[in-house]
């Protein structure tokens, strides 16, 4: 990541007028929209989008709502149109371990549960008021049958998910806290002011105190006297 990008991000955190307030999103604004995502990202033509999105279920969740609980069987993938979700699991001592964030235009799902009908090991929770689109097996089958463009895109999406999970494992096993944090910034550039620091620390596999230290060290490294 370019040094000035890091500096700009850390300036936000060190702005005395900012107070690390979480960004709030007005759900009355026009949502990003799943149809727009299929058009702009998956590059599907409008007529195919119209066919595959008929009858899609949308739902709005308040902050703190649980969309999936540990032990339940996950029936859907969730596409976030507005807001922010997180997936986390609890270890045997009850400590939370954050697996994934899902802001706008992200998918989130317990894949082992939804595809193999296993009880979920995870929770999915709304960090902000959030609007989601439910994507069940029927949607995936219909979209793949109707659109070769979607079929290829979905396959690429799956492989990219596997690649990111492998990278995450490598970072957790062998990377410094600073490197993990910089990778987090690249993956989730708009979440530094939306997710509480303890959640970000949990995702990185470090303590909140270690995260504060990393941020301060980066701020010092990139400080440029005026």
Domain ranges of the chain: 31-147
pTM of the model: 0.82
For residue 118 the two structure tokens come to 């296993």
Q: Domain 31-147's class? A: mainly beta
* Average confidence (pLDDT) over 115-144: 93
Cα(212)–Cα(120) distance, integer angstroms? 32
Question: What is residue 32's predicted lDDT score, i.e. its pLDDT?
Answer: 64
Q: Calculate the average pLDDT of the chain.
A: 86
Give residue-wise pLDDT tens across range 51-95.
999 989 999 999 999 999 999 999 999 999 999 999 999 999 999
* Cβ partners under 8 Å of residue 189, min gap 6: 9
Give residue-wise pLDDT tens across range 182-205.
999 999 999 999 999 999 999 999
* Cβ partners under 8 Å of residue 187, min gap 6: 164
Side by side, the strands of the sheet bearing 123-126 are: 66-68, 123-126, 85-90, 96-102
Question: What is residue 95's predicted lDDT score, i.e. its pLDDT?
Answer: 93
């Amino acid at each position: 990541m370019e040094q000035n990008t890091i500096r700009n991000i850390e300036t936000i955190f060190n702005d005395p007028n900012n107070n690390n307030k979480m960004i709030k999103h007005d759900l009355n604004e026009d949502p990003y929209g799943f149809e727009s995502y299929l058009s702009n990202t998956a590059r599907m033509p409008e007529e195919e989008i119209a066919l595959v999105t008929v009858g899609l279920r949308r739902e709005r969740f308040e902050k703190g709502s649980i969309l999936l609980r540990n032990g339940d069987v996950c029936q859907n993938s969730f596409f976030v149109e507005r807001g922010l979700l997180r997936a986390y699991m609890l270890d045997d001592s009850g400590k939370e371990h954050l697996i994934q964030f899902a802001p706008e235009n992200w998918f989130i799902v317990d894949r082992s549960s939804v595809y193999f009908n296993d009880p979920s090991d995870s929770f999915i929770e709304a960090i902000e008021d959030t609007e989601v689109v439910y994507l069940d097996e029927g949607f995936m089958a219909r979209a793949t049958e109707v659109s070769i463009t979607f079929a290829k895109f979905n396959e690429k999406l799956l492989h990219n998910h596997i690649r990111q999970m492998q990278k995450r494992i490598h970072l957790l096993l062998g990377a410094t806290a600073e490197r993990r944090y910089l990778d987090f910034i690249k993956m989730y550039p708009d979440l530094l002011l939306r997710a509480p620091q303890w959640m970000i620390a949990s995702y990185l596999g470090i303590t909140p105190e270690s995260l504060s230290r990393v941020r301060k060290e980066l701020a010092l490294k990139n400080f440029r006297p005026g």
